Amino acid sequence: MRKKASFTVEDINRFKTNLLQWAQQFDEVVWQDSNGHHGEYHSFDAILAVDGLTSMVTDYENAFEDLKTFQSSTKDWIFGYLSYDLKNDVERLSSSNYDGLEFPDLFFFQPKKIIFLKGNLVSFHYLNMVDEEIEEDFKDLNSSSTTYSQNRLPQTAVSIKHRIAKEDYYANVKTMLNHIHRGDIYEANFCQEFYAEGLEIDPVATYFGLNAISRAPFATFLKLNHHYLLSASPERYLKKQGTKVISQPIKGTAKRAYDVAEDSELAATLAADPKERAENIMIVDLVRNDLSKSALKGTVQVEELCKVYSFDQVHQMISTITSKVAPNKNPIDIIKETFPMGSMTGAPKVSAMKIIEALEATKRGLYSGSVGYISPEGDFDFNVVIRSILYNKNKSYASFSVGSAITAKASPEREYEECLLKAKAMQQVLEDVHNHREDQR
């Protein structure tokens, strides 16, 4: 069904730049880049999927069953996203908050062209109908004369607004704390949107700017017609590798410092922080419960608890939970039984999602959803859509949301500061990139 051909590339960074710019001729694009982070469950350095032969775009109603049908009928690689609001298909919930982005709830496509990168090896997996284009595409992509230049766009002042005023944020966190003290929930992830209207950006330039700042292990560029996701996600939601399922939730954030000793102290402080550890452990318990729905009895394990990893912008506390599933377990069912991810909801999950919906001002949409792929064998890997800019080109509307976990010991002021820390990279890149000039890379 697919022709495969591999080539060695000398300048892999130039090839990556050319690859993403070349992809813009297509309406459907998913690019994922590990940025050199090679963890235990690393599969490849980067992957590009473009040009849908078949696709599905739908709202949340019966979405997972429709995806199951699509996946089983293609019997091929499929790439796409799951929006947070698919929660309404999993549970009896609703989404009625303001939606300035207007992304569909679910999107997957069967790409005609897939390109894998590992080290300096580039592998093309093209459907037979386009397999004669492999040599020509590689020649174009590997040409040293190919350069990327940003589009010249009108120079407009960027005005990033808060959807929730600081005072309202404080009041809503206090309301959430009342729910916690009353015993309705133990923890909930409370998010707020930052947005800009009437903004024209070059999505590729903006992605490159964000990726240069963060260099995250689950970085993603997604295009669906006029909808774009530019993501510097550090978090894996769920991976299936044979009969093994892996979840790696993040809970716990600390800033970085230029001074090595100070930076080490910040990481050590995060590792020992009782509030941050409590947040993380609550989500670990939630994920263990979610994985147990599809796991073979006795196979759910916590491989790593509250380990601090350092990224360019922040230190993060990450745990790794794994399980084993039956060989014939449907991959879509595994995803549905764990969705949405615990790190972006709370505990108990359904109660937390109801409270989140009541207190947040924006429909989350693709933010805190997931982007990834499912292989022909039923393996998959999906990230968590955080640290991301979402852009509706037709509406000239750009948005990024950030959140933090609210627990009994939370302080509204400290949570607000954590949100600003997480928002820093997205705000910086929008302010830096919105006035485009000719720029050769």
Active-site annotation, residues = 235, 251
Query: Which among 230, 233, 238, 211 has a CA at the least distance from the CA of 30?
Result: 230
Per the CB < 8 A criterion, the answer to whether 188 and 355 are in contact is yes
Rounded Cα distance between 117 and 15, Å, is 10
Q: Are 441 and 148 in contact (CB under 8 A)?
A: yes
Taking alpha carbons only, the member of 30, 28, 107, 104 closest to residue 66 is: 107
Contact 30, 55 (CB under 8 A): no
| All residues at 6 or more sequence positions from 392 whose CB lies less than 8 Å from its CB, including other chains | 100, 101, 102, 103, 226, 227, 228, 398
CB-CB contact of 150 with 438 (8 Å): yes
Angle at 59 between CA 54 and CA 60, to 5 degrees: 115
How many other β-carbons are positioned within 10 Å of the β-carbon of residue 350? 16
Which residues make Cβ contacts (< 8 Å) with residue 368, sequence separation at least 6? Answer: 84, 189, 191, 340, 341, 344, 384, 385, 386, 401, 403
Give which of 98, 191, 148, 102 is closest to 396, Cα–Cα: 102
